[in-house]
Amino acid sequence: MSMDRRQFLKIAGISSILGFGASVVSTAQPSLLTGLDPAQVDKNKEALLAKRWAMVVDMSKFKTDDDYKKVIDACHLTHNVPDFRNADGSVDKKFEIKWIWTAAYERAFPGQDNKYMNEHLKEMPFLVACNHCDNPPCVRVCPTKATFKLPNGITMQDEHRCIGCRFCMAACPYGSRSFNWRDPRPAIKSENKEYPTRAKGVVEKCTFCTERLAVGKLPACVEAAPKGGLIFGDLEDPNSEVRKIVTNQYTIRRKSDLGTGPGIYYIVGGSDHA
């Protein structure tokens, strides 16, 4: 059948209005954003892949304040997390942004303490961050899909789409999210040019170092932790270290009764893991 340009456009126009053929046309076209055909894009062969990234925090491996500090600094310096300070050098709580930090046991696990528990255990600093939940309330409530699940289990944040409504912060039962109450850039002491900074008015949080996994590196906190302190891996892989620990040892998660399915597991005691 011969068809001139005019006829083709007519049929294409009508059929796309009716919804026919629209999908065929769109798959054949390159992405509007990159101008590339999906088949043309090479996957990084180095990238670390998983069905469900998860982390185990083995508290027995953290001995000194410096052990925690190294982990927190590694994360915050890598990700250009601003460090707002008061005139006296203390943390400015009003603008504070944190991706990973420590909270006393009785704070991180409310209701799990008891009045006979010794102060040492009550005050024991636990590393806390985004739990990358299986069923994250923050994703459910986000009105723009600026926070969303990746197929590898990571709860991701798109700071360019975020409208700053802070619904995710109300919804997160872990207080894991931070808002840029003002321009964060003046409070970044040494900027890592490999990672973007954020604008005011958007929410940010831990991303399990999605950008490092994509180039075959473990999360910055895992690298900086004492040996065996932070174990990162694929929970769906029966041979992974995280899976073996979660299967064979007694671990706890923060507020797991809420049905969120947190992806960070804690070993409180001191025994060696699997």
Task: Name the site residues for another protein (rule: CB under 8 A).
Answer: 93-97, 103, 107-108, 110-111, 137, 139-146, 161-167, 169-175, 178-183, 199-203, 255, 258-260
The Cβ-side half-sphere exposure at 218, using a 13 Å CA radius, reads 14
| Least distance (Å) between residue 72 CB and another protein | 16
Residue type, 97: I
* Closest C-alpha to 144, from 117, 169, 164: 164
| Least distance (Å) between residue 244 CB and another protein | 30
Dist. CA 261–CA 95, nearest whole Å: 29
Helix %, strand %, coil % for the chain, to 5?
30, 15, 55
| Least distance (Å) between residue 169 CB and another protein | 4
| Least distance (Å) between residue 207 CB and another protein | 18
The nearer residue to another protein, 93 or 120, going by C-beta atoms, is 93
| Tokens, residue 164 | 């700053």
| Least distance (Å) between residue 242 CB and another protein | 24
The nearer residue to another protein, 182 or 244, going by C-beta atoms, is 182
DSSP string covering 71-100: HHHHHHHHTT----B-TTSSB-TTT---SE
Site of tokens 């083709």: 8
The nearer residue to another protein, 205 or 212, going by C-beta atoms, is 205
